[in-house]
């Protein structure tokens, strides 16, 4: 979008959900960050969505997209590329629904091959649902629809 906008993903503690395989789990919070030229500081925007993600697959995908990883315990991912941010956002929303690691690779391939218009459509749909209902449960319902419509499964 612009040079003054960056995107940040904060990874926070999540109570572990039961999975067939053992994975570290975090809650990813997605934020836009605007640089204010006059004050030379950054203003964090409204949370665009939250999703349960599974490490290390999520971090590997973020690094593949070119995100800068900061921190050791409290991880923060930063980028200025809006399409890569949207790809990671859509990937996280789909990942929280899929509990089998076999499908995560299929989702990753699909998100990487998505055209800009469907990518923006699904990202805005997830954002709107999160802002309206303020809960991950409604977003998870939309994520299941995304996986079915886009034929990821």
Query: What is the rounded distance in angstroms from the CA atom of residue 126 to the CA atom of residue 93?
Result: 8
Which pTM does this prediction carry?
0.94
Average pLDDT, the chain: 92
- Residue 118 above 70 pLDDT? yes
Contacts of 90 (CB under 8 A, 6+ apart): 111, 114, 119, 122, 123, 126, 146
The pLDDT value recorded for residue 1 is 44
What is the total count of domains within the chain? 1
Domain residues for the domain of 52 are 5-149
Per-residue pLDDT tens for 19-69? 877 889 999 999 999 987 777 788 889 999 999 999 999 999 999 999 999
The pLDDT value recorded for residue 40 is 74
């Amino acid at each position: 979008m612009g040079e003054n906008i960056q995107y940040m993903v904060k990874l926070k503690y999540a109570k572990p959900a039961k999975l067939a395989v053992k994975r570290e789990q975090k809650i990813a919070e997605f934020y836009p960050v605007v640089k204010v030229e006059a004050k030379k500081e950054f203003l964090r925007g409204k949370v665009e969505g939250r999703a349960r993600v599974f490490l290390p697959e999520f971090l590997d995908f973020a690094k593949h997209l070119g995100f800068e990883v900061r921190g050791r315990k409290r991880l923060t991912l930063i980028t200025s590329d809006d399409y890569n941010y949207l790809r990671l956002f859509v990937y996280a929303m789909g990942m929280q629904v899929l509990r089998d690691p076999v499908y995560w690779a299929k989702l990753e391939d699909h998100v990487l091959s998505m055209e800009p218009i469907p990518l923006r459509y699904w990202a805005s749909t997830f954002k709107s649902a999160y802002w309206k209902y303020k809960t991950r449960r409604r977003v998870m319902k939309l994520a299941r629809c995304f996986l079915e419509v886009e034929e990821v499964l």
